[in-house]
Every structure is written in structure tokens, then in C-alpha cells.
């Protein structure tokens, strides 16, 4: 979400006559887009702002703006904590920044508030979150759910496709809540269907799905629309019902989560499942954590994002004792990561010799890289310019984090593509 917001900021600044600087030392304006979902993220932002303090002393004309989830309603307190910041604005309230700067070309934002930097782009479709999971600061900093009208999204997607974007990732903290707050209540399936009909867009992704909001109808839409990638990001957070209950408002049990994954795999046998896990949530016993590992062993997800719990100000869980010691959190995270490395290695090893489709996004270390429909990273060497192409790669090497192979002919054009 922050990447998507930064792309919008950059495009808006360029329209106002700014150009990107290579380093903060050369900039007239630095906008820090902060994340505070975990304590460690907040510390990184504070560190960056610390470095800017020295820079600002050396060059007082430098303007520093701070946005993202560090910006709450207590601006006066923020001003005291970060006197080097000239201007604070809440996440996505870009208008507040534009009003401070020289006017841009009037009314030229149209329906393309970002400048695509390659064949893939993010399309934020719903902001905020109404769930209030006990550990999570997002609803406090990004507010209630707000969906963007379907016509506006169609217009932006069309404009992106005209500029060469081939893959769009529809974003929302709970992307499956899309449309609940709009007149006529369109839903994510309808939105995907409309975007799939646009010429040029070869792939559509969606991120993140709250497990309680993924319906059979939605799974059916994903399997029916060839452009929609069979890739689900379904944060389970914990593998024991007691932990889930303490996490509050998650709205599923371990059993119902397993049924959901089964349902997805029945409809889409190739589907990739990724999940998020918090280790060391208040009161997490060794038994509860062992249940999380057992669930991961059973489900065999393609990707697991593990994080050690940290209390976030204002959340319900921050009132619970943070009673799992830091060493235990670290140790649990290491066990989780070792398990997942093995599972991902095994899942990917089964792909050896297979042909996969990749959309080429760039070059790294002399090789082209892209992603499969399931989101796996693929590298291959080729003399030809493959940027933005859909290619077929025959896999010759696999590891837990990436695949490698030889490029075959460009993949056949799919329905709706160009």
C-alpha cells in the first residue's frame, strides 16, 4: 500500500515540476512515507528522520514532509518529536501536500494519478479497514473502509494499460471488502470481471484477502477469468483457535480456514496460497505455537510472512501483557522460517522440468526476471529484450525463494490480451 501511495506522490510531484533526486542530500523536498505496522518499522522511520535532522541543519532550505501511518491526529506531539519535519499529512491525503506546493497543471490528474514504471502496477481499490484485529494499528491510522467507484478504477486501469502496463495488482487491507460501502454494492468479482474485459491487461492480482470474506462466488470468479492469477494472500495469523480468539474479530477458526484453502485448491488446483503469521502474540503458549507450525505443515503454503508480535499504541492487544519474552519470539520465528524454507523448497522442487509463464519485469545480475501467475520469481538468461513480455520458461533449477530456467517461445496470447 505504501509503494502504491509513493507512486502517486511521485507522479503528483512531477506534475508540479519536481524531478526525482538521486540522493536525499541533493533534494529540495523529502517526503517520508512511513509504516508503523510493527515497532521495528516505526524504528526504521525514526532512524531515517534522524538522518534528515542532520541534513536539515546543513541545508535549512530543505523541506521535509512526513506521511504514512506514523501520522496520527496528534500533530502537536509529532511536531515536538520530529522538529525537523516541516509538514505532516495523513496517509493518502495528498491534497494537503499539493496545497502547500506550487500549483500543478490545473485539473490534470484525470484518472491516472500514477506514472507506471514498468509492466506491472498497483491499483488501490479500497483504503482503510473496518476489522480492528486486536494487534493491528491500520484501522486507527488509515480510517474506515472507503472503496473507489468502479468507473474511476476502470478509467485508471485503462490508462495504465495504454501506457504498457500488463499486470495490475488490486490493493486493499481487506480487498474482498471492495464495494460494500458503494451504492449498488458492486463486489471484487464484478470489478475483476470489468477489468478483465479491458484490452491489454494480461494479468490481474488482488491483495490482501481477509479469510472471513472470501466467498465461493469469488473463488468461482477467479477460476472463470483467465486473466485473474490463481494466487491468494490469506493471512491466518495463528494456527490455534485460542490465539485467534484473543486476536479478536478474525471471524474464522482453524477448521474453517482449512476448509477455505481446500475449497480454493479444489476449484484451482494450481493456486498459490500465501499467509501471514504473528509469533509471540500475548499469551501464546508453546502448545499454541506448535499448532501454528502443524497447520503450516499441513497446509503447505507457498509463502509465509512471519513477524514477531510488537504492541502497537491504541490497539486492544496493547492493553494485554506482552508476556512472550523477546528471545522466545525470536526462537519461534526462526523455527517458523526454517519450516517454511523446507516446505517452499519442496513445493518448488516439484516444478523442476515444468514450463511456467513469466511476465518479465526487469534484469538483475545479467538475467531477466519475472513472476509466474502464482507469484513465483523466475530468472532466465536471454540476449533478446524481454522486458514486459509474457514468456514461457522451462525450469532447470529451483530453490525455496526462486526458480531458474531457459526461455521458450513467447507465451500464447490469452483472451482479452493484445
- DSSP classification of residue 103: P
Distance CA 383, CA 392 (A): 15
* Binding of residue 305 to ligand SF4 (CB under 6 A): no
What character string, x for contact with ligand SF4 (CB under 6 A) and - otherwise, covers 200-229? ----------x-------------------
Residue 139 binding partner per list ligand SF4, ligand SAH, none, with a CB distance cut-off of 5 to 8 Å that depends on partner kind: ligand SF4
Among 136, 153, 192, 195, binds ligand SAH (CB under 6 A): 136
The 129-168 site mask, x for binding ligand SF4 (CB under 6 A), equals x-xxx--x-xx-----------------------------
278 binds ligand SAH (CB under 6 A): yes
Minimum distance from CB of 170 to ligand SF4 (Å)?
A: 16
Q: Is position 391 an interface residue for ligand SF4 (rule: CB under 6 A)?
A: no
Q: Which of 310, 372, 374, 398 binds ligand SAH (CB under 6 A)?
A: 310
Residues 234-263 interacting with ligand SAH (rule: CB under 6 A): 235, 237
Identity of the residue, 36 or 198, whose beta carbon is nearer to ligand SAH in the bound complex: 36
- Cα–Cα separations (whole angstroms), residue 161 to 168, 275, 300, 388: 9, 29, 35, 12
* Residues in contact with 38: Cβ distance below 8 Å, sequence separation at least 6, in sequence order: 307, 308, 310, 312
Based on the number of CB atoms within 10 Å of its own CB, is 61 exposed (0-12), middle (13-18) or buried (19 or more)?
exposed
Shorter beta-carbon distance to ligand SF4: residue 235 or 388: 235
Q: Which is nearer to ligand SAH, 227 or 237 (CB)?
A: 237
Which of ligand SAH, ligand SF4, none is residue 37 near (CB under 5 to 8 Å by kind)? ligand SAH
Question: From the list ligand SF4, ligand SAH, none, which binds 209 (C-beta under 5 to 8 Å, kind-based)?
Answer: none
Residue in the block written with cell 481499490: 125
| SS3 at position 77 | helix
Helix 216-224 crosses helix 188-196 at what angle (to 10 degrees)?
Answer: 10
E strand or H helix that includes residue 378: strand 377-380
Lay out the site mask for ligand SF4 across 113-132 (x = CB under 6 A, - = otherwise). ----------------x-xx
Q: Which is nearer to ligand SAH, 37 or 407 (CB)?
A: 37
Closest approach of ligand SF4 to the CB of residue 129, in Å: 3
DSSP 240: S
- Which residue in 257, 275, 190, 258 sits closest to 224, CA to CA? 190
Q: Please, what is the minimum distance in Å from the beta carbon of residue 136 to ligand SAH?
A: 5
Q: Which three cell numbers stand for residue 345?
A: 523448497
What is the chain's length? 418
Q: Which of 148, 166, 246, 312 binds ligand SAH (CB under 6 A)?
A: 312
Omega of the bond prior to 208 within 30 degrees of 0, cis? yes
Query: Count residues contacting ligand SF4 (CB under 6 A)?
Result: 10
Please select the residue that binds ligand SF4; options are 33, 173, 310, 374, rule is CB under 6 A.
173
CA distances (Å), origin 31, targets 25, 86, 197? 13, 10, 37
CB atoms near residue 298 (< 10 Å): 11
Backbone angles phi, psi at 32, to 5 degrees: -100, 120
Give whichever of 137 and 359 is closer to ligand SAH, judged by the CB atom.
137
Q: Return the one option of ligand SF4, ligand SAH, none that residue 278 interacts with (CB less than 5 to 8 A, by type).
A: ligand SAH
How many angstroms separate the CA atoms of 252 and 285, rounded? Answer: 20
- Sole binder of ligand SAH in the list 88, 89, 122, 135 (CB under 6 A): 135
Query: Of residues 202-231, which lie at the interface with ligand SAH (CB under 6 A)?
Result: 208, 210
Our CB check for ligand SAH shows the closer of 137 and 161 to be: 137
d(CA 148, CA 303): 29
User: From the list 30, 138, 192, 228, which residue makes contact with ligand SAH (rule: CB under 6 A)?
Assistant: 138
Task: Please give the Cα distance from 351 to 393 (Å, whole number).
Answer: 11
Q: Does 37 bind ligand SAH (CB under 6 A)?
A: yes
Phi and psi angles of residue 181, each rounded to the nearest 5 degrees, phi first: -100, 10
H or E element at residue 68: strand 63-68
**Dihedral over Cα of 47, 48, 53, 58: its sign:** positive
Site for ligand SF4, rule CB under 6 A: 129, 131-133, 136, 138-139, 173-174, 210
Site for ligand SAH, rule CB under 6 A: 37-38, 135-136, 138, 173-174, 208, 210, 235, 237, 276, 278, 307, 309-310, 312
Amino acid at each position: 500500500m505504501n509503494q502504491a501511495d509513493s507512486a502517486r506522490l511521485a507522479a503528483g510531484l512531477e506534475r508540479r515540476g519536481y524531478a526525482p533526486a538521486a540522493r536525499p542530500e541533493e533534494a529540495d523536498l523529502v517526503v517520508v512515507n512511513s509504516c508503523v505496522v510493527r515497532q521495528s518499522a516505526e524504528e526504521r522511520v525514526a532512524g531515517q528522520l534522524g538522518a534528515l535532522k542532520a541534513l536539515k541543519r546543513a541545508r535549512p532550505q530543505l523541506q521535509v514532509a512526513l506521511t504514512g501511518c506514523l501520522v496520527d491526529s496528534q500533530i502537536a506531539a509529532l511536531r515536538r518529536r520530529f522538529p525537523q519535519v516541516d509538514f505532516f499529512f495523513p496517509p493518502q491525503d495528498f491534497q494537503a501536500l499539493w496545497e502547500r506546493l506550487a500549483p500543478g497543471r490545473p485539473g490534470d490528474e484525470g484518472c491516472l494519478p500514477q506514472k507506471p514504471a514498468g509492466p506491472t502496477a498497483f491499483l488501490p481499490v479500497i483504503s482503510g479497514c473496518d476489522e480492528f484485529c486486536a494487534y493491528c494499528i491500520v484501522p486507527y491510522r488509515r480510517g474506515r473502509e472507503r472503496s473507489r467507484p468502479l468507473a474511476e478504477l476502470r478509467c485508471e486501469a485503462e490508462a495504465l494499460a495504454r501506457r504498457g502496463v500488463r499486470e495490475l495488482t488490486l490493493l486493499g487491507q481487506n480487498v474482498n471488502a471492495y464495494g460494500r460501502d458503494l451504492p449498488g454494492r458492486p463486489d471484487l468479482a464484478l470489478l475483476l470481471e470489468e477489468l478483465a474485459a479491458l484490452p491489454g491487461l494480461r494479468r490481474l492480482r488482488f491483495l490482501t484477502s481477509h479469510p472471513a470474506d472470501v466467498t465461493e462466488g469469488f473463488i468461482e470468479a477467479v477460476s472463470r477469468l483467465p486473466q485473474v492469477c490463481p494466487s491468494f494472500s490469506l493471512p491466518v495469523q495463528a494456527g490455534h483457535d485460542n490465539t485467534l480468539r484473543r486476536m479478536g474479530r478474525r471471524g474464522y477458526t482453524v477448521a474453517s480456514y482449512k476448509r477455505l484453502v481446500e475449497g480454493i485448491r479444489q476449484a484451482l488446483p494450481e493456486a498459490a496460497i500465501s499467509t501471514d503469521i504473528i509469533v509471540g502474540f500475548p499469551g501464546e503458549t508453546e502448545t499454541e505455537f506448535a499448532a501454528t507450525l502443524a497447520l503450516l505443515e499441513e497446509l503447505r503454503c507457498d509463502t509465509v510472512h512471519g513477524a514477531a508480535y510488537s504492541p502497537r499504541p491504541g490497539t486492544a492487544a496493547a492493553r494485554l501483557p506482552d508476556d512472550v519474552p523477546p528471545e522466545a519470539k525470536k526462537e519461534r520465528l526462526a523455527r517458523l522460517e526454517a519450516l517454511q524454507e523446507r516446505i517452499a523448497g519442496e513445493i518448488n522442487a516439484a516444478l523442476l522440468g515444468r514450463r511456467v509463464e513469466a511476465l518479465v519485469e526487469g534484469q538483475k545480475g545479467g538475467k531477466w526476471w519475472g513472476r509466474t501467475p502464482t507469484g513465483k520469481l523466475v530468472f532466465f538468461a536471454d540476449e533478446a529484450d524481454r522486458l514486459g513480455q509474457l514468456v514461457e520458461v522451462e525450469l532447470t533449477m529451483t530453490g525455496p525463494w526462486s526458480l531458474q530456467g531457459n526461455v521458450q517461445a513467447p507465451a500464447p496470447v490469452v483472451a482479452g490480451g493484445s
